[in-house]
């Protein structure tokens, strides 16, 4: 009986309290997601929404996407599955196509809801709003870079289910209109965003000005150089900017850059003045009080948000996993770094018919722009304290000539076929290069920029928290220098460039007369290598179709015309070191270098006119008949 | 019980679905891109035109590639198509179609069809003579300017290409020589010569091949695609 009573009580209590009434049932707050009402009250929750929007910031080449750095002959992809990148002639016209209206809609929704969020504090709300508008400017800038003018949608659009979606279809804005939008939008948010050089991973006044300086510079150069490629334009102005707008844009770019320069919140990184190569490398991995970084994508160890650039690219000699060494900077890039007396010269490999003999493997690189060693790991240097071991084989003297013996795996040993030679000795470096062996330094180089010297950064279980720098002070100086140059103020231009060159170890300043277009292009290439600028820069200067013209180049072509803006750069070349084995000769034990082409480089890259602005997919065109196609497809 | 279930399943599998309800496309549309019936030679994989078949939900073009010798072919379903050569394609301009008054051409495919597409090239390479003398290939040709009205373009440069395969163009060559357009005094008598390289090995060919292929390419200023002469085999022995 007692038992029945208990059951009855339980049943009654479940019936009366367990279920909700019908009308309440449909209005219950969900427990697994947050409603708008809940979010827009709490600054913390709004920040998490914003964090997701920050996370979707558009990128092309970035440290979490290493292979993209190997498309444009800046580096060779040393991974078996990626050799196709140096084997295909044409760049597909849709490769970097971007039509991310999902992201734009989310940003528009955020802006709309934030404007209506009365329960947030006024300051917090203004900052959130400005940040979202900053991100919206960023995505429109990225769209216009890749696609030309796109429809400017600034309100979240809603479908009314009438069966007729034509009112949702918008035509493309002019290319100049999108740039104007980006520039003016950044103008209006820059005064709301915090003016704090210590904030690196959220939008600041500095970040807005830096983006504005870049965007105005892009628009200015398209206006100025677009005339060189008349086929890359559309009659409606969706692609192409008229030449008379160039001065306005360059002036804007200079103003924005100067606002940062005179603002005093940022400066060049010079913490390790005793070693300028290390200083340049540290600028990218040093995250404490780094005065140069303006806006970065940050990472954090043990948080799930880490990156694997170091894991992907660590040299075999100090590798913490059975992988690494993927991005191999090309000789083509290495040759761009000048000698410290301001002259261009190829690396001295030959002296007449004989080789040039070096006592140490690193001697061939001595006396160069320190950004060379700061960007690229050179033979004869160290990473994580371990000496790099990059050399391709042994050259032994036999029958009146040098013969080469090499191995086919990291640090292979063999016996040199000369009487008196030891039974077994190392015949190839622990880091390679072995032609065709993935993870070995197939160009003779590894990448150093963004590499994390912390122990564990190359382990799958740990990875790295070095940030991806999107805007830094040096680029602002370069933007200012270029804008000033284009406006005819060469004196101002050289002042800015010389600051960068001084940090790189140059003692003789460039004179005003030495400021040329080639010089501007050159400084951007060497300072900003592996930071995602190369292709977009060549595109806006309209020299991409000349640089990647599909014609084979020889070793002589690679070492000539250094420092010329439109020098042909279609195939990757390598420079391999060899150890001399010639007992009794003065050159025994010395090092020589040869220029070779890796066997996986078979095609010369070609940038067609259709690559200047990516193809708009046929599904997009067919959904919206108001869109016009991009030219040359 | 279990057996019945198996039988029912088998029966369902056998009768439930029909086979594909479309026959594969079977009509071939082929021909050449021509000027007055003479095929226009172009580079490999660079020149395309579009076929549109209206009347379906979403529109998208069928892209047809033009081969090196100016020929093309496409396997299509029977139907009504619109043919358009995009403005940027080829070293030529489309001819305004009499029927549509635009550059679009209407065509009906019903069974295989051979059709030449007439266009207006900027130039034609006439009487190309490629001869071997010693280890040098000499070329002589006449460049006839076809478009002479407001749309006329200058010759930017003329190239002579050699390759070990029949694909001879700006991205496929062993050796090449260039002549600047400004240096041509007589378009009716253009001369070029290039040395046959000693090392003729490369992708897909061994070094001891005793013949090469050659042709002349013409870069017209402001036009991306090059115009070519016919590929010619040159026997070295």
Question: Which chain B residue has its CA at the smallest distance from A632's CA?
Answer: B88
> Residue A557 belongs to what H/E stretch?
helix A555-559
pLDDT(A32) > 70: yes
Locus of tokens 């320190």? A370
pLDDT of residue B54: 86
pLDDT of residue A15: 67
The answer to whether B85 and B117 have CB atoms below 8 angstroms apart is yes
Cβ neighbours of residue A84 closer than 8 Å, sequence gap 6 or more: none
pLDDT(A25) > 80: no
Question: Which residues between 213 and 232 in chain B have a beta carbon less than 8 angstroms from any beta carbon of chain A?
Answer: 222, 224
Question: Which residues between 176 and 205 in chain B have a beta carbon less than 8 angstroms from any beta carbon of chain A?
Answer: 203
Instruction: Give the mutation candidate from B175, B224, B226 for the A interface (greatest A CB count, under 10 A).
Output: B224
DSSP for A344-358?
------EETTEEPPB
**CB distance A551–B61 less than 8 Å?**
no
pLDDT of residue B31: 95
Q: How confident is the model at residue A1 (pLDDT cuts 50, 70, 90)?
A: low
pLDDT per residue as tens digits for the range A499-525: 999 999 999 999 999 999 999 999 999
pLDDT(B202) > 60: no
pLDDT(A380) > 60: yes
**CB distance B60–A550 less than 8 Å?**
no
Q: Taking CA A472 as the corner, what is the angle to CA A251 and CA A135, rounded to the nearest 5 degrees?
A: 80
* Over residues A208-216, mean pLDDT: 98
Q: Using CB atoms, which residue from A89, A604, A633 is nearest to B86?
A: A633
pLDDT per residue as tens digits for the range A416-432: 999 888 999 999 999 98
Q: How confident is the model at residue B1 (pLDDT cuts 50, 70, 90)?
A: low
**CB distance B59–A632 less than 8 Å?**
no
DSSP for A63-120?
TT-GGGGGSSSSEEE-SGGGGGGGT-SBPPTTTT----HHHHHHHHHHHHHHHT-TTS
pLDDT per residue as tens digits for the range B214-234: 999 999 998 999 999 999 999
| Nearest-angstrom CA–CA distance, A528 and A535 | 12
pLDDT(A85) > 60: yes
pLDDT of residue B207: 59
Q: Calculate what percentage of chain B has a pLDDT beyond 70.
A: 92
pLDDT of residue A158: 93
Cβ neighbours of residue A71 closer than 8 Å, sequence gap 6 or more: A85, A91, A535, A605
Cβ neighbours of residue A53 closer than 8 Å, sequence gap 6 or more: A103, A106, A107, A110, A132, A135
| Nearest-angstrom CA–CA distance, B188 and B123 | 12
Cβ neighbours of residue A394 closer than 8 Å, sequence gap 6 or more: A404, A405, A406, A416, A425, A427, A578, A579, A580, A581
The answer to whether B197 and B61 have CB atoms below 8 angstroms apart is no
- Pairing between strand B117-121 and B38-39? unpaired
Q: How far is CA A241 from the centre of its chain?
A: 26
| Nearest-angstrom CA–CA distance, B208 and B200 | 7
**CB distance A603–B60 less than 8 Å?**
no
User: How does the average pLDDT of chain B come out, rounded?
Assistant: 88
pLDDT of residue B21: 74
* Over residues B205-216, mean pLDDT: 80
> Residue A446 belongs to what H/E stretch?
strand A446-447
Question: Which residues between 55 and 84 in chain B have a beta carbon less than 8 angstroms from any beta carbon of chain A?
Answer: 58-61
pLDDT per residue as tens digits for the range A137-172: 999 999 999 999 999 999 999 999 998 999 999 999
Q: Six-digit token pair at B6?
A: 């198996």
**CB distance A618–B88 less than 8 Å?**
no
Among A265-279, A534-548, B11-25, B180-194, which is the least confidently predicted range? B11-25
Q: Six-digit token pair at B175?
A: 């050796």
Q: Half-sphere exposure of A246 toward its Cβ, with a 13 Å CA cutoff?
A: 20
DSSP A40: T
**CB distance A622–B59 less than 8 Å?**
yes
**CB distance A231–B222 less than 8 Å?**
yes
Q: Calculate what percentage of chain A has a pLDDT beyond 70.
A: 98
pLDDT(B61) > 80: yes
| Nearest-angstrom CA–CA distance, B224 and B219 | 8
pLDDT of residue B7: 80
pLDDT per residue as tens digits for the range B66-104: 999 999 999 999 999 999 999 889 999 999 888 888 889
What are the percentages of helix, strand and coil residues in chain B, rounded to 5?
A: 10, 45, 45
| Nearest-angstrom CA–CA distance, A431 and A422 | 22
The answer to whether B221 and B194 have CB atoms below 8 angstroms apart is no
Is A320 strand, coil or helix? coil
- Pairing between strand B113-114 and B27-35? parallel
Beta bridge partners of A414: A425
pLDDT per residue as tens digits for the range A7-24: 877 777 766 666 666 677
pLDDT(A247) > 70: yes
> Is the ipTM above a cut-off of 0.85?
no
Q: Six-digit token pair at A315?
A: 């040299």
| Nearest-angstrom CA–CA distance, A23 and A32 | 21
pLDDT of residue A110: 97
pLDDT of residue A20: 61
User: How does the average pLDDT of chain A come out, rounded?
Assistant: 94
**CB distance A551–B170 less than 8 Å?**
yes
Beta bridge partners of B94: B119
pLDDT per residue as tens digits for the range A546-557: 999 998 899 999
Q: Six-digit token pair at A434?
A: 């072995």
pLDDT of residue B100: 87
Is A521 strand, coil or helix? helix
pLDDT(B206) > 60: no
pLDDT per residue as tens digits for the range A452-489: 999 999 999 999 999 999 999 999 999 999 999 999 99
| Nearest-angstrom CA–CA distance, A268 and A371 | 14
Q: How confident is the model at residue B15 (pLDDT cuts 50, 70, 90)?
A: low
Q: Between the CA of residue A454 and those of A15, A271, A383, A459, what are the distances in Å?
A: 61, 18, 10, 11
pLDDT per residue as tens digits for the range B137-185: 999 999 999 999 998 999 999 999 999 888 999 888 888 999 999 999 9
Cβ-based contacts of B60 with chain A (< 8 Å) = 618-619, 622
């Amino acid at each position: 009986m007692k038992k029945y009573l208990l059951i009855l009580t339980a049943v009654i209590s479940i019936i009366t309290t367990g279920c909700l009434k019908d009308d309440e049932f449909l209005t219950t707050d969900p427990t697994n997601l947050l409603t708008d009402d809940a979010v827009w009250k709490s600054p913390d929750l709004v920040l998490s929404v914003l964090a997701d929007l920050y996370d979707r910031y558009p990128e092309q080449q970035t440290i979490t996407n290493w292979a993209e750095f190997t498309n444009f002959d800046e580096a060779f992809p040393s991974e078996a599955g990626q050799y196709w990148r140096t084997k295909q002639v044409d760049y597909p016209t849709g490769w970097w196509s971007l039509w991310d209206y999902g992201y734009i809609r989310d940003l528009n929704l955020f802006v709309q809801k934030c404007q209506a969020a009365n329960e947030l504090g006024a300051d917090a709300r203004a900052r959130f709003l400005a940040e979202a508008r900053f991100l919206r400017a960023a995505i429109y800038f990225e769209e216009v870079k890749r696609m030309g003018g796109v429809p400017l949608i600034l309100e979240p659009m809603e479908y009314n289910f009438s069966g007729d979606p034509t009112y949702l279809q918008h035509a493309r804005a002019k290319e100049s209109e999108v740039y104007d939008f980006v520039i003016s939008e950044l103008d209006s948010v820059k005064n709301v965003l915090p003016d704090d050089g210590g904030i690196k991973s959220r939008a600041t006044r500095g970040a807005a000005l830096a983006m504005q300086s870049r965007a105005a510079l892009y628009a200015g150069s398209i206006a100025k150089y677009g005339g060189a490629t008349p086929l890359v334009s559309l009659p409606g102005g969706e692609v192409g900017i008229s030449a008379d707008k160039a001065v306005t844009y360059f002036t804007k770019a200079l103003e924005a850059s100067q606002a940062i320069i005179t603002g005093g919140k940022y400066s060049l990184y010079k913490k390790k003045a005793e070693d300028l190569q290390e200083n340049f490398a540290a600028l990218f991995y040093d995250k404490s009080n780094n005065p140069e970084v303006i806006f970065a994508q940050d990472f954090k160890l043990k948080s799930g948000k880490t990156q694997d650039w170091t894991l992907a690219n660590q040299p075999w000699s100090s590798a913490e996993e059975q992988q690494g060494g993927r991005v191999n900077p090309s000789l083509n890039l290495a040759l761009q770094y000048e000698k410290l007396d301001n002259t261009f010269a190829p690396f001295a490999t030959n002296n007449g018919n004989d080789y040039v003999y070096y006592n140490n493997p690193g001697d061939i690189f001595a006396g160069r722009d320190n950004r060379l060693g700061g960007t690229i790991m050179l033979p004869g240097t160290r990473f994580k304290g371990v000496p790099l071991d990059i050399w391709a084989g042994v050259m032994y003297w036999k029958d009146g000539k040098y013969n080469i013996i090499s191995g086919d795996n990291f640090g292979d040993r063999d016996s040199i076929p000369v009487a008196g030679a030891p039974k077994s000795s190392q015949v190839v470096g622990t880091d390679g290069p072995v032609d065709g062996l993935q993870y070995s330094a197939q160009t003779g180089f590894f990448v150093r920029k963004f590499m994390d010297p912390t122990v564990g950064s190359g382990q799958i279980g740990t990875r790295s928290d070095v940030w991806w720098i999107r805007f830094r002070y040096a680029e602002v100086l370069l933007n200012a220098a270029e804008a000033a140059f284009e406006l005819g103020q060469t004196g101002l231009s050289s002042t800015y460039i010389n600051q960068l060159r001084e940090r790189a170890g140059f003692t003789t300043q460039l004179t005003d007369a030495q400021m040329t277009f080639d010089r501007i292009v050159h400084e951007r290439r060497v300072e900003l290598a592996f930071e995602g600028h190369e292709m977009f820069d060549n595109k806006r200067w309209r020299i991409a179709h000349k640089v990647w013209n599909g014609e084979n180049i020889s070793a002589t072509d690679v070492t000539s015309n250094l420092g010329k803006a439109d020098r042909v750069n279609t195939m990757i070349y390598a420079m391999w070191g060899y150890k001399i084995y010639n007992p009794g000769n003065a050159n025994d034990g010395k090092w020589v270098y040869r220029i070779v082409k890796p066997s996986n480089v078979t095609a010369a890259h070609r940038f067609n006119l259709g690559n200047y602005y990516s193809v708009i997919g046929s599904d997009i065109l067919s959904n919206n008949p108001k869109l016009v196609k991009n030219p040359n497809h | 019980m279990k057996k019945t279930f198996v039988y029912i399943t088998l029966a369902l599998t056998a009768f439930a679905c029909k086979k594909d309800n479309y026959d594969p496309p079977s009509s071939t549309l082929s021909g050449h891109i021509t000027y007055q019936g003479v095929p226009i030679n172009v580079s490999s994989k660079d020149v395309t035109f579009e076929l549109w078949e209206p009347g379906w939900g979403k529109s998208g073009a069928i892209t047809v590639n033009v081969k090196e010798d100016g020929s093309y072919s496409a396997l299509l379903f029977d139907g009504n198509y619109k043919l358009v050569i995009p403005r940027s394609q080829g070293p030529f301009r489309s001819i305004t179609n009499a029927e549509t008054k635009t550059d679009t051409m209407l065509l009906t495919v019903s069974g295989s069809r051979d059709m030449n597409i007439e266009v207006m090239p900027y130039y034609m390479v006439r009487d190309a003579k490629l001869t071997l003398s010693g280890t040098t290939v000499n070329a002589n040709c006449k460049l006839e300017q076809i478009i002479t009205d407001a749309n006329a373009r200058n010759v930017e440069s003329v190239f002579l290409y050699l390759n070990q395969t029949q694909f001879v163009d700006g991205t496929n060559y062993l050796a090449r020589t260039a002549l600047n357009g400004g240096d041509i005094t007589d378009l009716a008598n253009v001369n070029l010569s290039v040395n046959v390289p000693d090392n003729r090995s490369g992708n897909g060919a061994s070094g001891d091949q005793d013949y090469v292929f050659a042709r002349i390419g013409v870069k017209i200023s402001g036009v991306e695609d090059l115009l070519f002469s016919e590929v010619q085999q040159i026997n070295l022995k």
